[in-house]
Amino acid sequence: MEAKRVTFRGSALPYLLLAPQLAVTLVFFLWPAAQALYGSLFAEDPFGLSRTFVGLGNFAALLADPAYLNAGLVTLVFSASVTALSMGLGLALAAAADALGKSGGAYGALLVWPYAVAPAVAGILWLFMFDPSVGTIARALKAIGISWNHALDGEQALLMVILAASWKQVSYNFLFFYAGLKAIPPGIMEAAALDGAGRRARFRFLVLPLIAPTSFFLLVVNLAYAFFDTFGIIHATTGGGPGQATTILVYKVFRDGFEALALGASSAQSVVLLAIVVALTALQFRHIERRVAY
């Protein structure tokens, strides 16, 4: 990391300037993270009176716990679905807007605003539409013979939170795909068209490879969104249920830590999540390096 060629002198000033940021980081980020790492190596009795060192015992217990493995599976299905659905829709809408040239930009304003809706609020909106007794969609489904009750049916509950999470995320994908498509030089597309490549062939063999960096970046961002930012959707709608049908990993770490007060297990779960974030961040930075190398 470089500094400017011309710099100021001062021995105490730079530290003073950094102090607020570093203080907040140390007290509220690094110290608690260290606590989580440390705590994950101990088992605590239910009253919090004593703790014993168990090494990697909490992690072994976690991996042997069917409820945790189930949460991992739910997280996979949930995040894969949200990512596929919101990226697919975002790309389709971006391609449509791009095909319209200048007039396509007018749709932008109508498509980006759901980004501003909080996940919890998005969840509540979908919860209302699917409410078995009063929801518009639930009633429409009943009219065509499908009985909907996400309070009883785990698959329906999972579908509902997937739809709510994707609904909110389409805007983000649209925005980045649209920018990516607009950046493709029109000359390339015209040349391909002159060579006889049809609409579909141009999309498949030119557009998709050219926006691959954007797609990769969005894949990482969407996975991170589905893993972490959707806590509000789950907590405000299904509460992880029915049963464990919508308990994703972040929801489980919250419930085990705050409601079940299982400190060691919760810390071990935090450490697993930390590993996921580190992996996602590393992926994201690899992407940036590659783009810089272009």
Partner 1 sequence: MAGRERTPRLLAHAALILGVAILVLPVYLAFIASTHGGADFLSGRVGLLPGPLLVENYGAVLFAGASTAGIPPVALMLLNSFVMAMAIALGKIAISLLSAFAVTYFRFPFRVAAFWIIFVTLMLPVEVRILPTFQVVASLSMLNSYWGLTVPLIASATATFLFRQVFMTVPDELTEAALMDGATPLRFFWSVLLPLSRTNIAALFVILFIYGWNQYLWPLLVTTDTGYYTIVMGIQRLARAASEADPVWHLVMATAILAMLPPVLVIALMQRLFVSGLTETQK
Residues 202 to 231 in contact with partner 1, rule: CB under 8 A: 217, 221, 228, 231
49: three-class secondary structure by DSSP: coil
Please state the closest distance from residue 289 (CB atom) to partner 1, in A. 12
Q: Does 18 bind partner 1 (CB under 8 A)?
A: yes
Nearest distance from residue 267's CB to partner 1, in Å? 7
Residue (80 or 129) nearer to partner 1, CB = 129
Closest to partner 1 by CB, 158 vs 265, is 265
CB of 141 to partner 1, least distance (A): 15
- DSSP 8-class letter at 5: S
Helix (H, G, I), strand (E, B) or coil at 52: strand
Instruction: Give the whole-angstrom CA distance, residue 193 versus residue 208.
Output: 16
For residue 104, state whether it binds partner 1 (rule: CB under 8 A).
Answer: yes
Shortest Cβ distance from residue 232 to partner 1 (Å)? 4
* Interface pick for partner 1 out of 62, 97, 181, 219 (rule CB under 8 A): 97
83 contacts: CB under 8 Å, gap ≥ 6 = 219, 222, 223, 226
Using CB under 8 A as the binding rule, the residues of this chain from 125 to 164 that contact partner 1 are: 125-129, 131, 133-134, 136, 139
CA 293 from chain center: how many Å? 27
Out of 30, 76, 140, 183, which residue is the one contacting partner 1 (CB under 8 A)? 30
Q: For residue 290, what are the contacts with CB-CB under 8 A and spacing of at least 6? A: 213
Contact residues for 109 (Cβ-Cβ < 8 A; gap 6+): none
Asked if 260 is part of the footprint of partner 1 (rule: CB under 8 A), the reply reads: no
Separation between Cα atoms, residue 253 and residue 238, nearest integer Å: 16
Tokens in use for 50? Answer: 């004593």
User: What does the alpha-carbon distance between residue 252 and residue 73 come to, in Å, rounded to a whole number?
Assistant: 13
Shortest Cβ 247–partner 1 spacing (Å)? 14
Interface with partner 1 includes 273 (CB under 8 A)? yes
Determine if 41 is a binding residue for partner 1 (CB under 8 A): no
Interface pick for partner 1 out of 46, 50, 64, 113 (rule CB under 8 A): 113
Supply the minimum distance, in Å, between the C-beta of residue 4 and partner 1: 6
CA distance linking residue 256 with residue 248, whole number of Å: 12
Q: Judged by CB, which is closer to partner 1: 14, or 243?
A: 14
Nearer to partner 1, 61 or 129 (CB): 129
User: What CA–CA distance (Å, rounded) separates 248 from 79?
Assistant: 9
**Which parts of 40-182 fold into alpha helices (H)?**
57-64, 66-99, 105-112, 119-129, 136-143, 154-182
Smallest gap from residue 203 Cβ to partner 1 (A):
12
* 28, 35 contact by CB (below 8 A): no
- For residue 155, the minimal CB distance to partner 1 (Å) is 20
Count of residues interacting with partner 1 (CB under 8 A): 97
Binding partner 1 (rule: CB under 8 A), the pick from 14, 88, 198, 243 is: 14
